[in-house]
A = this chain, B = another copy of it.
Amino acid sequence: MLPKDETWFTEVCEEAGSVVGWKVEKQLAHVETEFQTIDVYRTAHWGNLMVIDGFVMLTTRDNFLYHEMLTHPAMFSHPCPKTVAIIGGGDCGTLQQVLTHPEVESAVQCEIDEQVTRLAEQHFPELCERNDDPRATLVFDDGLAWIRNAEAGSLDVIIVDSTDPIGPAEGLFGPGFVADCFTALADGGILVQQSESPLLHQHLISGIRQNMEKAGFETIRTLGFPQPSYPSGWWSCTKARKHGILAPPDLDRFDASGIVTRYYNPEVHRGALATQMP
C-alpha cells in the first residue's frame, strides 16, 4: 500500500481495475468552473500535474509524448497544412506543437473552459510560449458549435484534444461532430482524435472509427504511443483523411522542417501506423 507518511494523488481506472498515481508535494490550485473541477498539484518527480474532475490531464514530465503524437503524424501526413483547428487542448501543448510547423498560417484553439488555459499559463508556462504567435487564435467556446459553423472546406487539419468521453467532451465522440468535421475539412484534410488506450478501450476506438467511416473519410488509422500518466500507459490517436493516404513524411521533409522532437520522428510515425489492436 502507499506509504502513509506521504501524500499521493491517485487515479483509479474503474473499467480496468487499475490505478496510477504520483507523490505530491503541494496542491497549487483548486478551481470549480461552470464545466468542471480543475486541480493542479506539484509532484515530487513529475513536475506539475493537472487533474480535471479527478482524471489526470497532464504532467510536466511526460506530456511531450501525447502532444507530439497527437500533432505531428497528422501535420506531416498533410502535404501543406495551412489552416488548423484544435478542439479542446486548453493546456496549449498541442497548439505549441502545431505552431512549430512553418506552413501553418492560422491555428485556432477552441477550448470550452477558459480556466484550463489560465491555469496552464500559470503552471505549465512552457506549453504556452507560443500563445502570442500572430498565427494563433484562442477561442473559448463550444467546440461542437465552432466546427458546425466553420466554413465548409476551410480547414486542412482538425485535432480533437479532448478529455475522456464523459462530461463536456461526450459530444466530441459522437457521429454528428465527426460528420461536421468532414464538412469543415478541405479535400485531403485530416481529422485526428485522441482515442484512449489500445489495451483498455478497444470498444471506444472501434466506435470512433465507425463514426469516421460513416462520415465518408477514405483512410482511417489508429496510432499507439506510450503515455505514462494515462491508464495503462499506452495511448492512441485515431486519424482519418478525407481523401488520400496517411503516410509518414520522408526524412528530407522532416529534417527541413527544423522541428525538434523528443519522441516523434518519421520512423516512429511509421511504427505507430502499424499498431494492431491486441
Q: Which residues of A contact B (CB under 8 A)?
A: 1-3, 8, 10, 12, 15-23, 43-46, 61-62, 64-65, 199, 224-228, 232-234, 262-263, 265-276, 278
Contacts and interface: CB of A to CB of B under 8 A. Distances in A.
A46 B64 contact: no
A273 to B, nearest CB: 7
Contacts of A263: 276, 278
A15 B44 CA distance: 10
Contacts of A10: 1-2, 19, 21
B23 A46 contact: no
Contact of A23 (B18, B23, B45): B18
Contacts of A228: 18, 199, 232-234
Contact of A18 (B15, B46, B270, B274): B46
Nearest to A1: B10
Contacts of A278: 64-65, 262-263
A109 to B, nearest CB: 25
One complex includes copies of this chain to the number of: 2
A205 B274 CA distance: 26
Task: Tell me which of A8, A16, A228, A263 has the highest count of chain B C-beta atoms within 10 A of its own C-beta.
Answer: A228
A44 B15 CA distance: 10
A12 B3 contact: yes
A226 to B, nearest CB: 4
Contact of A45 (B17, B227, B268, B274): B17
Given A10-B1, A19-B19, A43-B17, A267 B262 contact: no
A70 to B, nearest CB: 16
A274 B267 CA distance: 6
B1 A8 contact: yes
A16 B10 CA distance: 14
A274 B232 CA distance: 22
Contacts of A199: 61-62, 226, 228
B44 A17 contact: yes
A235 B74 CA distance: 25
A34 to B, nearest CB: 27
A199 B267 CA distance: 19
Contacts of A225: 226
A248 to B, nearest CB: 10
Contacts of A266: 274
A137 to B, nearest CB: 30
